[in-house]
């Protein structure tokens, strides 16, 4: 411990965890056996963390990644190009607000989040907190208090190429990721592998101690706390196919690296401010499990779409009535000949992100998901509905603003 304590007007100890009601709204089955499962929880980050404690998950999470708003003073839009009946259209919605003038509230919030994260982490667990120059110094002091200054493993600098230039200062082209271990005696950490060069180990891999293999560019880069994207392919260009249109989406290669290093095989990862769910994609792709939370419907739409897209089983839960569904009037789906056919006006279909038929428990019997991207295809009007799947009860549609509507089928 440093003995140094950050203070601010009205600072108070985090409130004890509260109880929260939860409803499972949707489960989409996996389409790939080698991919882990994802649970999305709609709600405030602290409520999500409290709910996990309520469910008895203290000490069970192996990796937490936090990428909260940075205090940039921006209302961030999500922009998507979608195929429509008449060609193409662009849908813009506000994804989330990132106010610049809320430092005191932000600190109080982060302190409570860290309190919960510390309880949820397993002894082998780690937390990575991703920020930039605006708030990284404050977070560092709070992390020192909660996790112990000696448990800081790295202050990682992710240096990127895009944006950040100015006429009146040097370019701002890096983020800071603080990486703390809960208990250094038990921490899981897998250093990257590199090809052995010695005669004795020829053809084998060994734990890299000083260089990263950089397969993308065919040369090595130093394994330090500095991660320049030029060397390690961490860039997310504007035209990159990973892009979901979600603002502040992080490159998958960045999260792949964190997951590789700190998520044990089959372990559980958590991101309670998940945005487009990049941590989730990285975790399930290596067979890990993930819990993602966000209070933004737009974020949940992006995360769900991406996770369904990589073949994960995806369960969507809502806390305390978050993600309120709109009741659809009338019947907008026809079930016949093993198919579900949408009967909505073109304009409504064009604005869909996902749709499907659910049973009474919210399990998807037929599901189409375009929540990660809509540029490639038009919304299909017809989905196969296997007879053996279960009793169709509801039509669920989710639009490109992340709004959910539910109607009955066959009434
Ligand atoms: C910087 S973005 C995360 C981006 C993400 N890492 C990605 O790769 O897409 C921050 C997210 O935190 C969410 N958020 C901010 N404050 C929150 C809160 N109090 N509770 C839950 N989510 C919150 C926002 O809705 C936003 O999606």
For the ranges 12-16, 82-86, 174-178, 214-218, the lowest mean pLDDT is seen at 214-218
Q: Which one of 14, 275, 290, 298 would you pick to mutate in the ligand 1 pocket, going by the greatest count of ligand atoms within 8 A of its CB?
A: 275
Q: Which one of 108, 136, 274 would you pick to mutate in the ligand 1 pocket, going by the greatest count of ligand atoms within 8 A of its CB?
A: 274
Nearest CA to ligand 1 atom 27: 275
Note whether residue 66 is domain-resident.
yes
Note whether residue 177 is domain-resident.
yes
Q: CB of 295 closer than 6 A to ligand 1? A: yes
How many angstroms does the Cα of residue 91 sit away from the middle of ligand 1?
20
Q: Are residues 396 and 253 in the same domain?
A: no
How many angstroms does the Cα of residue 70 sit away from the middle of ligand 1?
10
**Which range of residues forms the domain containing residue 368?**
325-408
Q: Are 116 and 46 in contact (CB under 8 A)?
A: yes
Q: Are residues 258 and 339 in the same domain?
A: no
Note whether residue 103 is domain-resident.
yes
Q: Atom of ligand 1 at shortest distance to CA of 250?
A: 8
Q: Are residues 172 and 294 in the same domain?
A: yes
Could you say which of 276, 293, 319 is where a domain stops? 319
Nearest CA to ligand 1 atom 13: 273
Note whether residue 120 is domain-resident.
yes
The whole-angstrom separation of Cα 147 and Cα 180 is: 7
Could you say which of 293, 319, 345 is where a domain stops? 319
Could you say which of 319, 342, 375 is where a domain stops? 319
Note whether residue 91 is domain-resident.
yes
Q: Are residues 268 and 374 in the same domain?
A: no
Q: Are residues 359 and 304 in the same domain?
A: no
Q: Are residues 255 and 111 in the same domain?
A: yes
Q: CB of 296 closer than 6 A to ligand 1? A: yes
Tens of pLDDT, residues 240-279: 778 888 988 998 888 998 999 999 999 999 999 999 999 9
CATH number, position 47: 3.40.50.150
Which residues touch 262 (CB under 8 Å, ≥6 apart)? 62, 63, 126, 128, 179, 188, 189, 190
Q: CB of 297 closer than 6 A to ligand 1? A: no
- DSSP strand E in 43-106: where? 61-66, 74-84, 87-98
Tens of pLDDT, residues 69-123: 988 889 999 988 888 888 888 889 999 999 888 999 999 999 999 999 999 999 9
Q: Are residues 315 and 341 in the same domain?
A: no
244-271 residues labelled b (16+ CB within 10 A) or e (exposed): bbbbbbbbbbbbbbbbebbbeeebbbbb
Q: Which pTM does this prediction carry?
A: 0.92
Note whether residue 384 is domain-resident.
yes
How many folded domains does the chain comprise?
2
Note whether residue 210 is domain-resident.
no
Q: Are residues 151 and 62 in the same domain?
A: yes
Q: Are residues 258 and 393 in the same domain?
A: no
Note whether residue 9 is domain-resident.
no
Q: CB of 299 closer than 6 A to ligand 1? A: yes
Q: Atom of ligand 1 at shortest distance to CA of 296?
A: 25
Q: Are 401 and 93 in contact (CB under 8 A)?
A: yes
């Amino acid at each position: 411990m440093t003995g140094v304590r950050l203070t601010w007007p009205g600072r108070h100890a985090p409130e004890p965890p509260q109880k929260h009601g939860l409803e499972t709204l949707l489960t989409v089955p996996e389409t790939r056996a080698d991919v882990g499962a994802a649970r999305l929880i709609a709600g405030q980050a602290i409520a999500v963390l409290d709910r996990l404690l309520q469910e008895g998950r203290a000490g069970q999470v192996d990796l937490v990644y936090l990428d909260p708003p940075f205090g940039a003073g921006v209302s961030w839009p999500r922009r998507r190009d979608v195929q429509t009946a008449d060609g193409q259209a662009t849908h813009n919605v506000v994804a989330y607000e990132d106010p610049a003038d809320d430092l005191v509230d932000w600190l109080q919030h982060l302190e409570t989040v860290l309190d919960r994260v510390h309880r949820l982490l397993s002894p082998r667990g780690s937390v990575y907190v991703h920020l930039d120059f605006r708030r990284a110094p404050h977070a560092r002091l709070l992390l020192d208090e909660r996790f112990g200054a000696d448990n800081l493993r790295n202050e990682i600098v992710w240096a990127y190429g895009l944006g950040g230039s100015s006429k009146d200062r040097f370019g701002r082209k890096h983020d800071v990721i603080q990486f703390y271990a809960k208990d250094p005696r038990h921490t899981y950490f897998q250093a990257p592998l590199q090809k052995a060069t010695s005669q004795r180990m020829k053809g084998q891999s060994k734990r890299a101690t000083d260089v990263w293999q950089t397969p993308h560019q065919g040369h090595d880069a130093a394994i330090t706390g500095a991660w320049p994207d030029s060397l390690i392919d961490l860039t997310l260009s504007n035209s990159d196919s990973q892009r979901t249109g979600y603002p502040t989406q992080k490159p998958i290669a960045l999260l792949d690296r964190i997951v590789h290093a700190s998520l044990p095989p089959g372990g559980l990862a958590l991101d309670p401010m998940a945005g487009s769910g990049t941590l989730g994609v990285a975790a399930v792709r290596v067979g890990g499990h993930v819990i993602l939370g966000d209070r933004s419907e737009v974020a949940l739409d992006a995360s769900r779409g991406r996770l369904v897209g990589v073949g994960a089983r995806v369960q969507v839960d809502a806390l305390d009535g978050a993600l309120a569904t709109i009741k659809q009037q009338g019947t907008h789906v026809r079930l016949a000949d093993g198919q579900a056919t949408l009967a909505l006006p073109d304009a409504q279909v064009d604005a869909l992100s996902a749709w499907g038929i659910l049973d009474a428990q919210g399990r998807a019997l037929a599901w189409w998901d375009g929540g990660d991207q809509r540029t490639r295809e038009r919304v299909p009007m017809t989905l196969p509905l296997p007879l053996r799947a279960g009793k169709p009860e509801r039509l669920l549609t989710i639009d490109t603003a992340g709004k959910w509507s539910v109607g009955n089928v066959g009434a």
